[in-house]
Structure 1
């Protein structure tokens, strides 16, 4: 499945995308707000097949993100997927972009497209997002996309709780 936005190409990832996934998710800079830091190769090798499997099971998931300007270069991964919030599965918006793609509005463009997809194509009533309190750029993206802060998630015991954001489909 391929979708396009004004500047982005969103594609279902394949096994061939693993190395780029690891480069982005393993980069300490892209994990500046993640208490665990950059993803290890072993962890990436566990998580990436789960991303591919999510597509197989649900027919949607995190997209491989490219720009129309440079369609041969993956700049990140993001979109919607089911995520366990301790005990409850919720439709979650998530993304991670290469540092070279930061500050260009790509996260907002992706998020807005994912929201439209979640509400109009998947027909879901709400979309959630989890963000670390210090991650001001991602909080800004969520607020720009009309998400509301609705709670906290103790996903890193002993550390400040993550923020839960929610966007409800308008009736």
Structure 2
């Protein structure tokens, strides 16, 4: 089911989102902090989208296509909650990526706050975590505004500097929400 925030419309990803996924994840600018770099081609995006759809079918939650409420047909990003492993740590991972046209408007924070609320209130996760590159200060600020706290460095990608692990428990989130 779709979810709305003050400015955003979130709906589960579908197979026809592949062009938008490739446009956003294939853009070198949106991958500035991603050691893997942009998606190489649309076929890679198809594989990722298939994996995301399978995750939602298996676990009941996953990735959303993100649009503005005023333009629900225009995807400006993707994000969600998924079970991921980084450096041998399995977590309920909060992830997101927005097109460059959406940057600088607080949309990532609005998205992340709603995703965390969904994770804790609707699917009853005990903890939500996120992994961010050490030099990605904008994303670190989004996580901090959302209530996630820095936990430790993790070595999730070979031969590159470590990433930062942020996390928030449902209990801490409920305390802060009062």
Shorter-chain TM-score bucket reads over 0.9
* 1:37-69, Cα deviation, whole Å (9 max, x unpaired): 211114323212101111111111010001012
Equivalences for residues 1-171 of structure 1 within 5 A = 1-41=1-41, 42-170=43-171
Aligned partner of residue 152 in structure 1, secondary structure:
strand
CA distance in 2, matches of 1:27, 1:151: 29
Aligned partner of residue 39 in structure 1, secondary structure:
coil
Instruction: Compute the displacement of 1:156 (Å).
Output: 1.5
Q: Report the number of matched residues.
A: 171
Aligned partner of residue 71 in structure 2, secondary structure:
coil
Aligned partner of residue 103 in structure 1, secondary structure:
coil
CA distance in 1, matches of 2:47, 2:153: 27
CA distance in 2, matches of 1:48, 1:15: 7
Aligned partner of residue 164 in structure 2, secondary structure:
strand
CA distance in 2, matches of 1:18, 1:165: 29
Deviates more, 1:37-46 or 1:15-24: 37-46
Instruction: Compute the displacement of 1:127 (Å).
Output: 0.3
Q: TM-score, normalised to structure 1's length?
A: 0.96
CA distance in 2, matches of 1:72, 1:158: 40
CA distance in 1, matches of 2:108, 2:121: 20
CA distance in 1, matches of 2:119, 2:156: 24
Q: TM-score, normalised to structure 2's length?
A: 0.92
Deviates more, 1:145-154 or 1:89-98: 145-154
Deviates more, 1:119-128 or 1:38-47: 38-47
Q: Once superposed, what is the RMSD of the aligned Cα atoms?
A: 1.1
